[in-house]
Structure 1
């Protein structure tokens, strides 16, 4: 009986170690090697399976798609350090200042552009918190509305392409989809393109931004003291030249990156290279690229990239040992015998991912959970692009959910002491409801995700 539930015990042991604060990558690898060693001693694990691990590492390092990760990280860090967002937020606030909830709408629009440019949740939340939270509070916004808007907008980097989360999900789901097709006797399996995930995320991303703006407009209409329009003395005219000068560079960069992918002119990896070069040229044009700053950007990019790939290697070893103990067969049997079939299985997976989002980053969940459950769900008939977008939205929601949402911690770290933590928690609740409503809409009408990628083929 213990052998049958050993894969589950492995997974629980990893969660316990992570909650105790141990390093993610080495927790995954250490748990896998410890369990494999005990299994070999007990005669319940085939040691020859570990011979496949070097090939897995080589395959990861040789993966062309994953080259996009350091390039998109470089693009995001470069734009973060170039102070592009500060100028853009100032001008958008002046432009929208007299509208109901004008400054909140400005934060959402600028956050959307930042999400498309950086794709790094922590960087976006901290940047927007430092720049816009004091200004929103001074303008008369309630702490709940101000902090909720910033947290929710900062997590848009999970779903708005080009997103690092979608790059990683695309690579993992491609392998899972190929496994599912092979199990069904299809011996020429088609991979899942990261570009398809980018295209599939466009409509949900736009809908989510629209829902945020509609909520702020309704809030300003029903409770104008919580989300006021700008005061006349606060509004200075912004010239067309100033607005275009701050708005066009990030918009053109995003259009260039996404447009090259959508049109088929470039792969996501090639487009990431274009984005990194474009971000560097923008920083040079703004004279924000000194030798010291370039060194800091390179160091930050290297640290993030090393973290991602180290976790990937640890997760690869964990999934290898997990399958060696029969974990995949256990999950397949469990899902196939669930009442409700595919719907119940999908709901359970989404709930588990949502709960794990409280304690794990999206990178760990992508590398640990998705390779385990992905092949099973895809073999049951789920569309891989739809599944990828739903997972990304789910992780985005978990980033906001009290008491452990990462976005809440990021904002708490830069928010004034006068803003209570309880206010931050209350502020994100309406945005969580909006995200869950969007997920429900995507579940009812999956064409919102699958239609646009289908038109591109």
Structure 2
């Protein structure tokens, strides 16, 4: 029964593929294996006594309060049609150029990534708002859909991101566990703010790659980049752009600036963002009781899903460790040729493949707690590890045939757009994301430089 932890992991994957709810599958399978482990003597029943304290720790975790607040902020900005006004103003400004609409989609998506943080919501919103117009203006279906899908996944890496909030909490626990494994007792930990700062340079690099690709296509294949819109009043476009751009931009600067300057924790900044989103909606006349009710219902739905998965994943990871899973992973990594680099390569490959069938929330709560303590014990930088995982998960959202972003866009795209066009369109963006991932592996300073500059080495 030495490989019982791996059997547990395999059974969980099979149950999830069968379509059962993620949280209940994690908890149910783990408790079943816990009973088998106690019966066979491989798991001590006293080990399960830590479960209540774990669940209590989840309920009292101040960092995780940022999740419902950031979700509320993003949903409020989405429901109040701020994104629609911004995209319209951008399209008027850049519509006089080939590829102008695609460029507008990327720039607006970059701003939305700092507010919604949910890939599905961003892809669906951008698909409904921009795809019909892009097709009408003569954009090739592949180029249009690829731009929208890739832009929608920016919420995974550009802060403040819900994915980074969850990763920060998981990596903090993993870092403390790694220190205990090495016999080090230190109050130091990994904060969500560290990941936010570390993600800024990679996020901006990825946006720059996207913009460069759009400009390149506009020059080399202008027939794929749409027609040029003429007779657009320049002054009206600039005025409309400023009115649409300034409110959300000020909100993003306040939220991120308060974190980077050390005036607020991510949780406190999330509260400011949620209040600011309500204020913007009220100023623009988009806030009423019906809309507030819809936003609260959506926020509650997403938050309940996240925390239920977190509880199920906590039960799973506790049983996995009790069965000796962490020791087994450590032994497997130590036997790999190439040391820590081969271990990182294996982990990145596993996360990439699991991204086909699992959402980033399940991977963050299930896989990362199992492998992160071992990698951190081997000397991997925790901030670099977190950003590498975030970029990897972002790539898996686009990879055919199971990328979630592809399914989101397929659900709102016109029937005239073939699925194969969506698959073709995302391939260049997948290549760019993989190039970024390789660059971060070769030059970790792209991630660690800014945190060292802000917080000191």
User: TM-score if structure 1 supplies the norm length?
Assistant: 0.98
Range with bigger deviation, 294-303 or 229-238: 229-238
Indicate whether 1:172 and 2:170 are aligned: yes
Q: Please report the RMSD computed on the Cα atoms of aligned residues, expressed in angstroms.
A: 1.1
**Residue 352 (structure 2) aligns with:** 354
Separation in structure 1 between the aligned mates of residue 387 and residue 236 of structure 2, nearest angstrom: 37
Deviation at residue 357 of structure 1 after TM alignment? 0.4
CA deviations over 1:419-452 (Å, ceiling 9, x no partner): 0000000100000000000111111111000000
**Residue 397 (structure 1) aligns with:** 395
User: Which residue of 102, 127, 130 corresponds with 2:128?
Assistant: 130
Instruction: Say if 2:86 and 2:108, in contact at 8 Å, map to a contact too.
Output: yes
Deviation at residue 293 of structure 1 after TM alignment? 1.3
**Residue 147 (structure 1) aligns with:** 145
User: How does 1:18-33 map onto structure 2 within 5 Å?
Assistant: 18-33=16-31
Instruction: Say if 2:209 and 2:432, in contact at 8 Å, map to a contact too.
Output: yes
Judging changes above 3 Å, is the alpha-carbon distance between structure 1 residues 415 and 236 closer, same or farther for their aligned structure 2 residues?
Answer: farther
**Residue 280 (structure 1) aligns with:** 278
User: Which residue of 187, 192, 195 corresponds with 1:194?
Assistant: 192
Separation in structure 2 between the aligned mates of residue 428 and residue 233 of structure 1, nearest angstrom: 32
Gaps of 5+ in 1: none
Deviation at residue 236 of structure 1 after TM alignment? 6.9
Separation in structure 2 between the aligned mates of residue 419 and residue 335 of structure 1, nearest angstrom: 45
Separation in structure 2 between the aligned mates of residue 351 and residue 286 of structure 1, nearest angstrom: 46
Instruction: Say if 1:181 and 1:189, in contact at 8 Å, map to a contact too.
Output: no
**Residue 258 (structure 1) aligns with:** 256
**Residue 427 (structure 1) aligns with:** 425
User: Which residue of 443, 446, 452 corresponds with 2:441?
Assistant: 443
User: How does 1:202-241 map onto structure 2 within 5 Å?
Assistant: 202-228=200-226, 230-233=228-231, 238-241=236-239
Range with bigger deviation, 149-158 or 94-103: 94-103
**What SS class does the counterpart of residue 402 from structure 2 fall into?**
coil
Deviation at residue 400 of structure 1 after TM alignment? 0.3
Deviation at residue 229 of structure 1 after TM alignment? 5.2
Deviation at residue 100 of structure 1 after TM alignment? 3.2
**Residue 83 (structure 2) aligns with:** 85
**Residue 248 (structure 1) aligns with:** 246
Instruction: Say if 2:92 and 2:237, in contact at 8 Å, map to a contact too.
Output: no
CA deviations over 1:125-175 (Å, ceiling 9, x no partner): 000000000111111110000000000000000000000000000000011
Instruction: Give aligned pairs, total.
Output: 455
CA deviations over 1:390-423 (Å, ceiling 9, x no partner): 1000000000000110000000000000000000
**What SS class does the counterpart of residue 118 from structure 1 fall into?**
coil
Instruction: Say if 2:182 and 2:377, in contact at 8 Å, map to a contact too.
Output: yes
**What SS class does the counterpart of residue 223 from structure 2 fall into?**
coil
Instruction: Say if 2:134 and 2:226, in contact at 8 Å, map to a contact too.
Output: no
Deviation at residue 228 of structure 1 after TM alignment? 3.3
CA deviations over 1:319-354 (Å, ceiling 9, x no partner): 000001000000000001110000000000000000
Indicate whether 1:56 and 2:54 are aligned: yes
**Residue 382 (structure 1) aligns with:** 380
Deviation at residue 43 of structure 1 after TM alignment? 2.0
Separation in structure 2 between the aligned mates of residue 351 and residue 257 of structure 1, nearest angstrom: 34
**What SS class does the counterpart of residue 33 from structure 2 fall into?**
helix
User: Which residue of 407, 410, 429 corresponds with 1:409?
Assistant: 407
CA deviations over 1:37-56 (Å, ceiling 9, x no partner): 11112222111111110000
Instruction: Say if 2:143 and 2:425, in contact at 8 Å, map to a contact too.
Output: yes
Deviation at residue 230 of structure 1 after TM alignment? 2.1
**Residue 47 (structure 1) aligns with:** 45
User: TM-score if structure 2 supplies the norm length?
Assistant: 0.98
Separation in structure 1 between the aligned mates of residue 25 and residue 357 of structure 2, nearest angstrom: 14
CA deviations over 1:29-84 (Å, ceiling 9, x no partner): 00000001111122221111111100000001111111111100110111110100
Separation in structure 2 between the aligned mates of residue 100 and residue 232 of structure 1, nearest angstrom: 11
Range with bigger deviation, 240-249 or 158-167: 240-249
**What SS class does the counterpart of residue 115 from structure 2 fall into?**
helix
User: Which residue of 137, 154, 157 corresponds with 2:155?
Assistant: 157
**Residue 95 (structure 2) aligns with:** 97
Instruction: Say if 1:71 and 1:273, in contact at 8 Å, map to a contact too.
Output: yes
Separation in structure 2 between the aligned mates of residue 104 and residue 24 of structure 1, nearest angstrom: 36
Deviation at residue 233 of structure 1 after TM alignment? 4.8
